[in-house]
């Protein structure tokens, strides 16, 4: 099966939408009403780190590092849809990047 370069799979789009929805709900819960894309790189990094540290599952347990890495990738995809952020280097995640405990 050949893959087309640049093709985005449906589950990738669904995952991105899911995590952006969860992040927006979290932002509303903490009364952070500014558009994330309108902020500079340092503020975006801070808010994403706070989000990754705060979120828990519906059973109030913390997510695994692997799931948090997928969440970070989804947020990065969302931010990279805007050319301005691509030029800033925000959200650039390589497949070989790991999410260490220190980063969380």
Q: Report pLDDT for 90.
A: 54
Per the CB < 8 A criterion, the answer to whether 65 and 59 are in contact is no
Query: DSSP H helical segments within the chain, as ranges?
Result: 10-29, 41-54, 65-79, 83-88
Per the CB < 8 A criterion, the answer to whether 69 and 99 are in contact is yes
DSSP conformation letters of 74-94: HHHHHHTTSHHHHHHTTT---
Query: Model's pTM, two decimal places?
Result: 0.66
pLDDT in tens, 39-73: 888 888 998 999 999 888 777 788 888 889 999 99
Q: Report pLDDT for 84.
A: 52
**How many residues make up the chain in this entry?**
104
pLDDT band at residue 18, thresholds of 50, 70 and 90?
A: very high
């Amino acid at each position: 099966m050949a893959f087309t370069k640049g093709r985005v799979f449906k589950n990738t789009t669904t995952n991105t939408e899911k995590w952006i929805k969860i992040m927006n709900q979290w932002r509303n819960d903490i009364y952070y009403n500014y558009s994330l894309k309108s902020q500079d790189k340092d503020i975006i990094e801070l808010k994403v780190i706070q989000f990754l540290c705060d979120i828990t599952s519906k059973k109030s347990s913390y997510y695994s590092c692997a799931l948090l890495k997928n969440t970070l990738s989804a947020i990065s995809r969302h931010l990279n849809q805007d050319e301005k952020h691509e030029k800033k280097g925000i959200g650039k995640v390589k497949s070989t990047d790991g999410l260490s405990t220190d980063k969380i």
